[in-house]
Structure 1
Amino acid sequence: MNQFSKLLLVFIVHLSFYTVHSQEVNNSYVVQNGDWLSKISQKAYGNPHLYYRIIESTNEKHLVDNSFQRISDVRKIRVGQKLWIPKKTTSDKKKDAVLVAIPVTDCEIRIWYNYQIVAISELNKNWIQQKIDLKTRAIKAYTLRHNARINARFMMQNKDSVRSIQNRDRKKYGNPDGPTFEYLIKKCTDKGSTTNDCYKDIIVSSSRVSTVYNNRCKD
């Protein structure tokens, strides 16, 4: 069994994150060089996925104290920015028990990403049963894959690698987060396809995994 297959089998097993010192909770925190939200969440809670609590609490603080800057983009925090690290809630602790598999390495993140997109074809069957029109289904499929791509990159620990990927996409698509929906439609119709055929193609391609990247996780 190759490494990629083994990772699929153990994906529900608890994975350790990198070792860091605890970040004091229920207090303010000033962003340091090399910080990103999931890293700060790991320091504070031992769980990188609770970064949304930091966002919510910081934005609440901003309403009454403008020394806290509102966070509008999960990927964009700056050195010197003041955040609020709240205590864990009961709900957070319950989520800890559910989030037993935390993707850490690029291969584990790739598996997580694949799980998000392979479901799109099944979801499309449900959308058809719900009588959702073709264009809306194409937009929904594109959005699911696009968001999975952004979240996967956000989880990657090597931010230089992320910037390299974003630079590649910027040169190829004119957008650091990959092709836009409009870009895909134009590229497809420029080849002579009808708009409806392009919608269908987007739905199919949105659920397609990359063998090139997956093969990198094999022995």
Structure 2
Amino acid sequence: MNGPDAASAKKPTTNTEIRNWYNQKVASIPETDAKLKAQGASLEERAKAAVNTRHEARLEARSFMSNPLEVMMLKARDFFTYGRLDGPSFDQLVKGAKAKGLTGDAVYQSLIDSSKRTNQTVNNHFANQQAKL
């Protein structure tokens, strides 16, 4: 983050703050996608941007976490789910969409759509933790 807001931005420290930060980053995807669409970007370019935004948010959120064991557990989950420590690659997501029977532009639209969604179970978990404080 650059500019005058960078110094004043508070780094999230608790897992609940980190999850909220991550959700805010993911929530920016529709606006960015609309801008790219207005600029004439292809659906594939827009899908790559959406997937990249989510991927970068995933990595940055993990960098905020103070418990290395929790980070290792997330990486292990990703490894066993995707064969990669830091989540699925764009190509893996394309392959997965095609395996669901999608073709052409529907593949890329599905990646944009799925990039905007977060895990509601995880969100509820952290909302419940916050409510207990």
Same fold flag (TM > 0.5)? yes
Question: Shift in Å at residue 192 of structure 1?
Answer: 1.4
| Equivalent residue number for residue 120 of structure 1 | 29
Separation of aligned partners in 2, 1:152 and 1:95: 16
1:176 counterpart SS class = coil
Separation of aligned partners in 2, 1:95 and 1:186: 37
2:58 counterpart SS class = helix
Does the 8 Å contact 1:117/1:144 carry over to 2?
Answer: yes
Q: Does 1:189 align with 2:88?
A: no
Question: Shift in Å at residue 120 of structure 1?
Answer: 0.4
Seq. identity, %? 35
Flag the 1:117–1:196 CA change in 2: closer, same or farther, 3 A.
same
Question: Shift in Å at residue 95 of structure 1?
Answer: 4.3
| 1:29-59 Cα deviation digits (max 9, x unpaired) | xxxxxxxxxxxxxxxxxxxx9xxxxxxxxxx
Flag the 1:170–1:143 CA change in 2: closer, same or farther, 3 A.
same
Question: Shift in Å at residue 209 of structure 1?
Answer: 2.1
Separation of aligned partners in 2, 1:141 and 1:196: 15
Separation of aligned partners in 1, 2:17 and 2:46: 29
Higher relative contact order (CA 8 A, sep 6+): 2
AA paired with 2:60?
N
| Equivalent residue number for residue 123 of structure 2 | 214
| Equivalent residue number for residue 52 of structure 2 | 143
Q: CA RMSD in A?
A: 1.8
Separation of aligned partners in 1, 2:49 and 2:91: 14
Separation of aligned partners in 2, 1:128 and 1:121: 10
Separation of aligned partners in 2, 1:159 and 1:106: 12
Flag the 1:124–1:171 CA change in 2: closer, same or farther, 3 A.
same
Separation of aligned partners in 2, 1:157 and 1:118: 24
1:216 counterpart SS class = helix
TM-score, normalised to structure 1, is 0.55
Number of residues of Structure 1 aligned to a counterpart in Structure 2:
127
From 101, 112, 115, give the equivalent of 1:203. Answer: 112
Separation of aligned partners in 1, 2:58 and 2:117: 13
1:149 counterpart SS class = helix
Which ranges of 4 or more aligned residues in structure 1 deviate by more than 3 Å? none
> Any unmatched runs of 5+ in structure 2?
none
| Equivalent residue number for residue 105 of structure 1 | 14
> Any unmatched runs of 5+ in structure 1?
1-48, 50-90
1:209 counterpart SS class = coil
Separation of aligned partners in 1, 2:22 and 2:98: 28
Does the 8 Å contact 2:75/2:86 carry over to 1?
Answer: yes
